[in-house]
Structure 1
Amino acid sequence: MRIVSGTHKGRRIHPDKNFKARPTTDFAKENLFNVLHNLVDFEDLIVLDLFGGTGGISYEFASRGAKSVICVELDHKHFLFIQKTIGELELDQILPIRSNVFRFLKTCHQKFDMIFADPPYDLKDLESIPDLIIEKDLLNAEGILIVEHSSKNDFSNHPSFMEKRTYGSVNFSFFQCSAKKE
């Protein structure tokens, strides 16, 4: 696993071999960030990374100049790995939070420019994530939610759905609050 671009471009991240998280592939991550490069200005971006896993998406946003990144991860070993890596890379704009994502979303009152969710593909409540975020009004105007998922999920009928991108076996669905879409 590596950081694709920015100030830490090319840096390799090495989680333990017994790590349970499924990191976003470098191929999918590179393509996703190429798309995002045309949609957003990374500097001053306020990001929420849900189901942080290895922290790879958080490191990528921080490396590209995001102002702040909150990375939410429940698993204790994964959380410690994220904390350690943040320290090693000196990515002080990342705030790791050890919490259940659904509990965090219910109590969160901050708004974000970008929310990225990479839940386990077999998560029972995966399809409820866009509704939770939109109902809680967690996106700033023009804010974007991206949900990583398998091909089994189809969000195309969701009222806030924008588009889907597929890179190998990785699918990204993009959402924006429908009231804010042009």
Structure 2
Amino acid sequence: MQNKLRIIGGQWRSRTITFADAPGLRPTPGRVRETLFNWLQYDIAGRTCLDLYAGSGALGFEAASRGAKSVVQVESNPQACQSLKQNVVALSAHQVTPVQAEVQQFLAGEPDCFDVVFIDPPFAKNRVLATCQALENNGWLARHAKIYVETERSLTLEGLPANWRQLKHKVAGEVAYHLFERS
């Protein structure tokens, strides 16, 4: 089954992307994406973005639509990754690069510096803190990178890198979402 969602803003506003029906795949809700990109409105254009646990690709394609210089989408599920590649072609999104890999293996590789990172792992898998630490410890973040973290509402974010400062935080239903800045 193919699922669909609309891009909210930018050059592909109202365009539809499709994504595979995969276990644990839970696209960021439209109102959460709208809030997030309002928070990041001055931090996307011309910047490099990393979309970890990309899933539907909603966050990465939204960033590209709003002028991101480049977006790397990391997704381990082969069907979801194939959908990402199909959406790149459908949108002519040459600045978007889907990578099929486990996030921790990807982050153990040769680092590249990113200005904005989206972290939206499957819920109840305890991947957030390890992912955040790997980003910080392995050299993946630009000096003042913005890091978006989406979790289940019940998860307490303790043990994040000490140099990350929370800028924003909201809850929508069972989703908690946070925006951090590296200092």
TM-score (normalised: structure 2): 0.88
Equivalent of residue 10 in structure 1, options 2, 8, 14: 14
Equivalent of residue 173 in structure 2, options 164, 168, 177: 168
1:141 is aligned to 2:143: yes
1:34 is aligned to 2:47: no
Looking at structure 1, the residues matched to 154 and 172 of structure 2 have their Cα atoms a distance apart, in angstroms, of 14
How far is 1:44 from its partner? Answer: 1.2
- Cα-to-partner distance string for 1:16-52 (whole Å, 9 max, x where unaligned): 5x33311111111111111111x51x22110000001
**Matches for 1:124-139 after TM superposition, within 5 Å:** 124-139=126-141
Equivalent of residue 22 in structure 1, options 19, 26, 49: 26
Looking at structure 2, the residues matched to 32 and 125 of structure 1 have their Cα atoms a distance apart, in angstroms, of 21
How far is 1:84 from its partner? Answer: 0.4
Structure 2 counterpart of 1:94, one-letter code = V
Is contact 2:112-2:139 (8 Å) kept? Answer: no
Root mean square deviation of aligned Cα: 1.6
For structure 2, which runs of at least 5 residues remain unmatched after alignment? Answer: none
How far is 1:97 from its partner? Answer: 0.5
How many residue pairs get aligned? The number is 175
Partner of 1:75: 77
Looking at structure 2, the residues matched to 111 and 150 of structure 1 have their Cα atoms a distance apart, in angstroms, of 27
Distance 1:108 1:115, change over 3 A: farther
How far is 1:169 from its partner? Answer: 2.5
Structure 1 counterpart of 2:137, one-letter code = E
Whose strand proportion is higher, 1 or 2? 2
How far is 1:65 from its partner? Answer: 0.6
For structure 1, which runs of at least 5 residues remain unmatched after alignment? Answer: none
Partner of 1:122: 124
Runs of 4 or more, structure 1, over 4 Å off, are none
Is contact 1:50-1:116 (8 Å) kept? Answer: yes
Looking at structure 2, the residues matched to 140 and 132 of structure 1 have their Cα atoms a distance apart, in angstroms, of 14
1:150 is aligned to 2:179: no
**Matches for 1:107-118 after TM superposition, within 5 Å:** 107-118=109-120
Looking at structure 2, the residues matched to 43 and 89 of structure 1 have their Cα atoms a distance apart, in angstroms, of 18
What's the secondary structure of 1:60's corresponding residue? helix
Looking at structure 2, the residues matched to 45 and 121 of structure 1 have their Cα atoms a distance apart, in angstroms, of 28
How far is 1:157 from its partner? Answer: 6.3
Structure 2 counterpart of 1:140, one-letter code = A
Is contact 1:155-1:173 (8 Å) kept? Answer: no
Is contact 1:28-1:168 (8 Å) kept? Answer: no
